[in-house]
Structure 1
């Protein structure tokens, strides 16, 4: 008997809920619904920030139609053709909402505001070099000894002028130890924000079979002006470059000359001329005295 009464009560409760839901869906209501924003006719040289995700609108209609409206993702289209750089105010008096044909809703207008504020900035672009990132110090040091090529080595960054001007490099994802042992691999460029983008999403790293190394050249003669001599008369230089270049490098290609101007102590700086692809690391001494 108890189970029979319990079953009747549960059935009655379910029936009551069903009747209530049906009543809510078929009767007319007045409520507020947040509609997504769509700004149309935005000038091509303008980028927008801090846009509102939605605007609350007062609507009137049957419960079922209101649910359909929420599920339809219907947008509010607002004319933005007159936006200027800087914080701008857009009136909500000039808007359009294209309701689906199967939704019978009356739009009563914005619920609590008659205008929205957006931040507009001038669209800007510039070219920046690609900068590699490393997972750890070991990988950084290992890669420093390798000769590699980045394709491309520079990319164009697009976005609001105030943000683009602050970007000096396009950083890649971190190179791992496993990547450093490969000869050819792809790296993604790290995103800097939703409103800033690069002309490329990734770069290719091609590692050469050769590598960068250094070499010390001793007892190189310093070239003095005719009729003059210097002390010391010879110098030692440390150079760096591609390992294949340094294997074939002849010290006679190093030209060490003396600066004509002396410092307050009467010492003249040394200048070193090297072939293309060879870099000067250090020279000892770096100054001499002319006799």
Structure 2
């Protein structure tokens, strides 16, 4: 099929036509997207100015739907990036009633958003609350951590938390099941020195529970470790009929890693090796495995030689 041949003048006219068409579309888009539109965004409710002497339970979800008025450009590019990502509700009014409305607080709520975005309405508009007496409880802080150390280094002492407890305030029924409070995840890698740092406590999952203080200081003693060996006597357990048991051998060599500061202090009394005679009595075993049931704090067992022993029963 032969191609249509156009003259230079015709090609120029077609080029002008498409240029005008593209400019017209761009102009239309510009004016259309510059207009005002309304769209919906789901967001989380956070509370401020909580009642001092009351514990409250919201009777609805902590997620609401905002109807936001903005330009077409915002609808196109920022619908999913409403800022801030939550809406703060003032609970001062709960001193006189058991509900608050977004309508009453719309001016204050809009003040937290961009001037180009305006919240028109919130669904639901009214939040209802159930009240109970606030209780106070003191619970220990539990560190949530993931630690890794440089080779031949490790934790050499008990982790210290200051403060090591937190005061939790909220409804009695909510505090009943709280026996400790976790920190945020504390992650450190390639540790070779003692770690001292501040870490935030995990935020309360319910808005009617508060914690104080919100931070704790963590100290993790870290030292270089070295290898040490000890020969330990083996004790027989579960010898309920008081047999005369002879173990071969009667001592076991334990190889372990210990911090440099504890090297001289790591002695035989810090460890205990046992064999369980009930394994022979119940299963007829002719060898008994050795278990290390006691070891020095923060020592790491590397080898137990032999791992099991022969024995002779003298009835």
Q: Could you say which TM-score interval applies, normalised by the shorter chain? A: 0.3 to 0.5
Give TM-score, length-normalised by structure 2: 0.44
